[in-house]
Structure 1
């Protein structure tokens, strides 16, 4: 059995009952269940529709995401999340670069790296080098003034944690940011790169080894082994090319507002919904949300 979930941006509810019924009838689906009126609904299917991606394309034009997955095991016991442009709305290194006066150059490198056009480690090294001499105190300033949580982040963490799930934040960014975000949201652990500091200023280098794509896969392997979980019991979420390894290995790999080249390699693509979409696709209704 499969489950089809349709959802949209909770800030702009556009999901109509007529759309749900039309699709359910076309695919011979079971009775529709509203998870949040106007925002998310689901119905069961006996088989995967042949025109799945054609319908997905059509729904994208009206601001609706479609996820079809196996019904069994869709509620996960672990969340493995990227941070930049996933749990928060910014790229931390881009925000630091703005403070250093090299924002445009760094943003260009970040975009190309996240799209898979550049080697992640080389791109990170180049960008960090442009921050050399920046006062360490700027990190706290950026955290306070520039960093905002992705909508739905608190509900996602609070709800999954209340259901007993483990949560790990794994980032190609920096511990100075992941530590704060992880503490704010209630992650059980966080892993990221380290910005090196001397005499109160950034040295322009990052600690080695650089945490990138393979390190995220290693985090998946190590944490599931420690917890006695199967990788199929993990939901991973990210948006960039360095997330693809963990997205493909996890039971549910969610490409959230991802670069097109990244989304194209994932079966679960959320382009319109916020982080509460990760709850809806597990079968949680809005009245069960925590946080």
Structure 2
């Protein structure tokens, strides 16, 4: 089979049933094969068709799924298992924006969160927006970072399964964030990434100075790290999967063979190869053909 359509439901809503699959197969070529990845939650439909027709079949399937909380991707079967994962952290691997949580300790969360939202939508240039927000944190005790990590930061469901399954099977996993190393170092170790890259908050006398060390890691730096990793690992862009939610993830998402917009801003979802609006991060394993039983423990 040359093409595969993957249907993924939200973890709490196993809505992929026989009736839905029958309707989906009706718009695909005769002989489509069904492979259950996780009963009720994730299914592959494999069929023979010209790869150039994948967008048309995806549109037809989206019409079938209209109003049903199911994510969808139609892609070539060959090469879907990836050997490199590059991922954003804030609102992707974790459920929060770290700078917004730091701002909470100063009573500035609404003000800083509003800037974060505009930057992630691409309405503001990333670097000046980051410096503006960091400046508003000046004077915050460094110990607050540990408190925020312990009490306010939560891993996104499926994050550990995604990274540890891909790593077990030989993929290289990199966490690249426009946030801060004080957070990425902890999160990367907890989830199981090989490496992490982010920005550094400057400190003096145990307090944040309100400054960020140069150079700023933003959109182009994320893409550059992906390019470097491909060269270092001897891979092509088709071997990589990139995932993020904000405008500063666009460049790496566009370069990767499979770029995924995860519960993302509209500008990101519009250009990504796949958009995950309902599933958790284990959806990225289903997109690669993993069954739930194959996930790393």
Q: 1:112 maps to what in 2?
A: 118
Deviations 1:214-245 (A, max 9, x none): 00001001111111111110110000010010
Structure 2 counterparts to residues 149-160 of structure 1, below 5 A: 149-160=155-166
CA distance in 2 between partners of 1:238 and 1:59 (Å) = 24
The answer (yes or no) to whether the contact 2:27–2:57 under 8 Å persists in 1 is no
Quote the offset at 1:54 in angstroms. Answer: 5.7
The answer (yes or no) to whether the contact 2:11–2:41 under 8 Å persists in 1 is yes
Q: 1:161 maps to what in 2?
A: 167
Q: 2:238 maps to what in 1?
A: 232
Deviations 1:69-123 (A, max 9, x none): 1111110001000000000000000100111211001110000000000000011
The answer (yes or no) to whether the contact 1:27–1:49 under 8 Å persists in 2 is no
The answer (yes or no) to whether the contact 1:21–1:32 under 8 Å persists in 2 is no
The answer (yes or no) to whether the contact 2:57–2:74 under 8 Å persists in 1 is no
The answer (yes or no) to whether the contact 2:238–2:258 under 8 Å persists in 1 is yes
Q: 2:41 maps to what in 1?
A: 39
Deviations 1:120-140 (A, max 9, x none): 001101110110000000000
Quote the offset at 1:51 in angstroms. Answer: 5.5
CA distance in 2 between partners of 1:90 and 1:50 (Å) = 36
Structure 2 counterparts to residues 1-291 of structure 1, below 5 A: 1-28=2-29, 30-45=32-47, 46-47=49-50, 48=54, 50=56, 52-53=58-59, 55-56=61-62, 59=65, 61-291=67-297
The answer (yes or no) to whether the contact 1:4–1:69 under 8 Å persists in 2 is yes
CA distance in 2 between partners of 1:50 and 1:166 (Å) = 33
Q: CA RMSD in A?
A: 1.3
The answer (yes or no) to whether the contact 2:27–2:61 under 8 Å persists in 1 is no
Point out where structure 2 has 5 or more consecutive residues left out of the alignment. Answer: none
CA distance in 2 between partners of 1:57 and 1:196 (Å) = 51
Quote the offset at 1:265 in angstroms. Answer: 1.1
Q: Does the residue aligned with 1:100 lie in a helix, a strand or coil? A: coil
Quote the offset at 1:49 in angstroms. Answer: 5.3
Quote the offset at 1:57 in angstroms. Answer: 6.0
TM-score, length basis structure 2: 0.95
TM-score, length basis structure 1: 0.97
